[in-house]
Structure 1
Amino acid sequence: MTKLIVMKQMMTLSGISTRTTNTEEMGSNGRLPQLWEDYFQKNIGAQPEVVDPHLIYALYTDYESDATGAYTVLIGHELNNNGVQAKTQLKRAVVPESTYMVFTTRKGPGFEVVAEAWGVIWEYFNQPQEEERSYTGDFEVYDSRDLDPSNTEVKIYIAIK
């Protein structure tokens, strides 16, 4: 898995969300598979104010504490901040400007490579590092133009101090 450090400007995302914990997601009560199913059924990328509808974001935000506490996941798209705000029942979230450590997964089955990557990320930040997570908003980016479920490559952005 490759990683690099980048600075990203603030962005606004819109989509559907749920609140969960890593413990729930590792058990049989995980909410994320249903959230992904709902995302695809509701055609979230068809919003008129979406920027680059082929880029799908899974934002991890509103952390209760750290990787062990509750957090909110929003699956959706970046919005054009200059556009008129459409009346929608979708949730909105602002991802603050931040420095990110970007982890790129290997290519493989989507859920497998993402779960594997998060394991590497948690292990990395559990060791003494120069970088420290800020828990202000982490996100995965999927490019639907290349979204072969059996050969997916995902970029995971971890906000650091």
Structure 2
Amino acid sequence: MHTDLIVKPGVSLAGIAVRTTNAVETGGNGRLSGLWNDYFASGVAERLQGNHAHLIYALYTDYESDATGAYTVLIGHERGDVPVPSGLAQAEIPESKFLVFKTKKGPVYEVVAQAWQEIWAFFEQSTIERAYTGDYELYDGRSFDPAAAEVDIYIAVK
């Protein structure tokens, strides 16, 4: 898996969110697939009228501890200059150093799940430490093909 180290400025997001754990997600009662379904049914991008509306963020934030604890996932977009519509959650991606992992090309649910497995294994072996301040998957809605997706995953590091 290809990785790059970059520094990115902070970003304000709005969208829909759910709290979960990796144990819940791998145990058959995962909430993330339902969150994605709700995102596509909700018209979040149209409601926000934000900057770069074609970019879809899946932000992992508010970590309880580390990869074993609870965290919040927000699927949404960069906030625009208009007030955030009621019913949408807000979150910040703080300015950070990120390791960027690029998935293989393939069915989105398969390649993203496989990439996260590889990311966890990478950090078990690496001297680089995760910051747990806000990690995210970035999708480009202009060219998104769920059957042949290639996704960048940004992991905040110390």
- Report the TM range for the smaller structure's normalisation: over 0.9
Counterpart position of 2:110: 112
Matches within 5 A, 1:79-98: 79-80=79-80, 83-98=81-96
Change in Cα spacing, 1:48 to 1:22, as seen in structure 2 (3 Å) is closer
Q: Cα RMSD (Å) of the superposition?
A: 1.0
CA contact (8 A) 2:55 2:77 kept: yes
Change in Cα spacing, 1:71 to 1:24, as seen in structure 2 (3 Å) is same
CA offset digits 1:49-100 (Å, max 9, x no partner): 41111110000000000000000000000113xx132442100001110000
Q: Say yes or no: does 1:3 pair with 2:20.
A: no
Instruction: Give, in whole Å, the separation in 1 of the partners of 2:61 and 2:84.
Output: 23
Q: Say yes or no: does 1:143 pair with 2:146.
A: no
Aligned to 2:16, what secondary structure does the other structure show?
Answer: strand
- 1:145, CA displacement in angstroms? 1.3
Change in Cα spacing, 1:62 to 1:86, as seen in structure 2 (3 Å) is closer
Counterpart position of 1:30: 30
Q: Of residues 129, 132, 153 in structure 2, which corresponds to 1:132?
A: 129
Change in Cα spacing, 1:11 to 1:121, as seen in structure 2 (3 Å) is same
Q: TM-score, normalised by structure 1?
A: 0.95
CA contact (8 A) 2:47 2:85 kept: no
Instruction: Give, in whole Å, the separation in 2 of the partners of 1:64 and 1:48.
Output: 28
Aligned length: 158
Matches within 5 A, 1:61-100: 61-80=61-80, 83-100=81-98
Change in Cα spacing, 1:89 to 1:9, as seen in structure 2 (3 Å) is same
Q: Of residues 118, 121, 135 in structure 1, which corresponds to 2:119?
A: 121
CA contact (8 A) 2:14 2:84 kept: no
Instruction: Give, in whole Å, the separation in 1 of the partners of 2:126 and 2:103.
Output: 22
Aligned to 2:138, what secondary structure does the other structure show?
Answer: strand
Runs of 4+ aligned structure 1 residues displaced above 4 Å come to none
CA contact (8 A) 2:61 2:135 kept: yes
- 1:47, CA displacement in angstroms? 2.5
- 1:28, CA displacement in angstroms? 1.1
Unmatched tracts of structure 1, length 5 or more: none
